[in-house]
Amino acid sequence: SAIFTPCKIGPVELRNRVIRSAAFENMAYGNSPSQDLFNYHTAVAKGGVGMTTVAYAAVNRSGLSFNGQLWMRKEIVPELRRMTDEIHSHGAKVSIQLGHCGNMTHRATCGCTPVGASSGFNLYSPTWARALKKDEILSLVEDFGTAVDLAREAGFDCVEIHCGHGYLISQFLSPYTNHRRDEFGGSLENRMRFMKLEMTNVLKHAGSDMGVIAKINMHDGFKGGMQTQECLQVAKELEKLGVHALVLSAGFVSRAPMEVMRGAMPLKTLAYYMDMKHFWWLKAGLALAGRLLIPSVPYKEAYFLDDAKVFRKALKMPLIYVGGMVSKAKMEEVLSEGFVALQVARALVRDTEFVNKLRSGEQECSECGHSNYCIGRMYTL
């Protein structure tokens, strides 16, 4: 099967084409690596993936959106190194997703007034956020480079930069969240400026031995956000910069969250496990108007494939497919369309041995039932 043939992401060769996507684990207690995080990613490596991706690590404290999320800093490098060494011992490569949440946080989590591309009220948190000043934007560009240096020191083979889903880089890209009147706002060229500065610095720090992946939106998922043609221009800019591969996703967590994941959100479960101290406002909102805040979006296997094929046709660079990968047959179909690899999350939450079972013939499809209870419990282990 093509699934189990090697592939390359920049200078990094993977033993097969299945990558554990950067789905949030909520296992970085106190914003530091834990034994649970170690155990999970080690299990996924033993389970046969080509590469596993440690989820969403903030490049500085202001970029934290959860207490169980990694914050890249010098003191956590030894524990991260212990984890990457163990993953490598099982034949898998390991990547880390780096990003900044922008306005999707709260002072209680990030330690300051939340920041974003523009000032305004974010209903997701809910909180007021202020616009980043130019010197702060340039400082953030340096923070991304420093985070790459720390990732190398910690033994990661690749970094994945999160440019989608309504996080900070996406907030600069999208006209929905970027209302600036300086050189970072207005035209698409201006809205891409922060991304270009940051990705140029990431590539410089990654050098010749680390893979650099960018996760981007193919559309934001609602009127007034980024649409396909603008997202294609973003992808072409990243191709020009020399990014090694793109992960093609869609959706906006604060505006169209189920566009990212598809299906229905189990709202009672989500509300039940929320910490009342920090999330009482969201819990109350879900109880009053949950279905309006988080409407369902129909699920089907490989739900982003038609969109992704548009990008495949327009670009020459390696593209990684993500979105609803649960069966061997559909994985082979996706790879036959010219995608270099595919990312899987929920099937590897359901069973960390999923890839080994596909390879041995024990399974042809994941037993994941697409209930999204794993997402409904994102505020708890």
Q: Are strands 211-217 and 120-122 parallel, antiparallel or unpaired?
A: unpaired
Distance of CA 95 to the CA centre of its chain: 11
Question: What gap in Å lies between CA 309 and CA 312, rounded to an integer?
Answer: 5
Side chain identity, residue 261: M
Q: Which tokens belong to 103?
A: 């306005």
29 has catalytic annotation:
no
SS3 per residue for the chain: CHHHCCEEECCEEECCCEEECCCCCCCCHHHCCCHHHHHHHHHHHHCCCCEEEEEEEECCHHHCCCCCCCECCHHHHHHHHHHHHHHHHCCCEEEEEEECCCCCCCHHHHCCCCEECCCEEECCCCEEEEECCHHHHHHHHHHHHHHHHHHHHCCCCEEEEECCECCHHHHHHCCCCCCCCCCCCCCHHHHCHHHHHHHHHHHHHHCCCCEEEEEEECCCCCCCCCCHHHHHHHHHHHHHHCCCEEEEECCECCCEHHHHHCECCCHHHHHHHCCHHHHHHHHHHHHHHHHHHCCCECCCCCCCHHHHHHHHHHCCCCEEEECCCCEHHHHHHHHHCCCCEEEECHHHHHCCCHHHHHHHCCCCECCCCCCCHHHHCCCCC
Question: Would you state the structure tokens that stand for residue 168, as one six-digit string?
Answer: 């900070």
Catalytic residue among 167, 176, 303, 379: 167
| Residues forming the active site | 167
